[in-house]
Amino acid sequence: MDFAEVKALARQGEGLHVEFKLKAAHPEKIVRELVAFANTRGGTLLVGVSDDRLIKGVRFVDEEEYILTKAIQAHCFPPFAYEIHHIPLDDNDERHVLAVTVPPSPDKPHYVRPEPAATEGKAYVRVADRSIQASKEVREILKGERKQRNIRFEYGKKENQLMQYLAQHRRITVSQFMEVAAIPRHVASRTLVLLSLARVLRILPDETQDFFEVLESV
């Protein structure tokens, strides 16, 4: 990556594949963005770029990299691939932008743990220009996509009720499906996950509750 690419990303602004940070302060929070990229479609974190798209750079880029890589090692599991680049500013070689590029991972879901010794953590996914905590359903879909199994399901009464509802309302939540089909939450959840893995539905993650809708190709 060179300075021209940094400028192009800065003009583009934050989005599904791009996040800006002025410094690597609070790295335990910054790693959420990297985990979200790994769990979704990949992306690039630019350290030294402000939220208003100004490329300011950082003076001690090696120190910023050290802080960030230590945080990745301490707080992220399982490990995911990433590349780090130092890009000098055109008019000031003393300041650099630190670019961390994360490809979509084949080993998702990845988690952020609060402490290095913790055995549990929270998964994050990228939605537009935000990194949000992944729900149980999102995590199950990520696990299922990793295994790449052929998904089989029976099209019964509850599935028929589901598709009738979606024909009228386009989207549905787990709670709404519970009410429509009069089924327990775990059954509603599992059914929606299976249909998503079978590519009948797709999940739309959200900070409050996820939505499911029919894939256009179905």
Distance between CA 164 and CA 167 in Å, rounded?
5
Helix (H, G, I), strand (E, B) or coil at 77: strand
Record: fold of 3-134: 3.30.950
pLDDT in tens, 30-51: 999 999 999 999 999 999 999 9
State the CATH class of domain 143-214.
mainly alpha
Sheet with 111-112, strands from edge to edge, namely 76-77, 111-112, 122-127, 130-133
How many helices (H) and strands (E) the chain has is answered by 7, 11
Q: Which residues of the chain have pLDDT under 70?
A: 91-92, 148-149, 217-218
3-class secondary structure, 196: helix
- Looking at residue 105, its pLDDT comes to 96
Residue 15: the pLDDT is 97
What is the domain partition of the chain in residue ranges? 3-134, 143-214
Q: What is the pLDDT of residues 135-165, one digit of tens each?
A: 999 999 999 988 766 777 778 999 999 999 9
With 0.85 as the threshold, say if the pTM is over it. Answer: yes
* Cβ atoms of 177 and 162 closer than 8 Å: yes
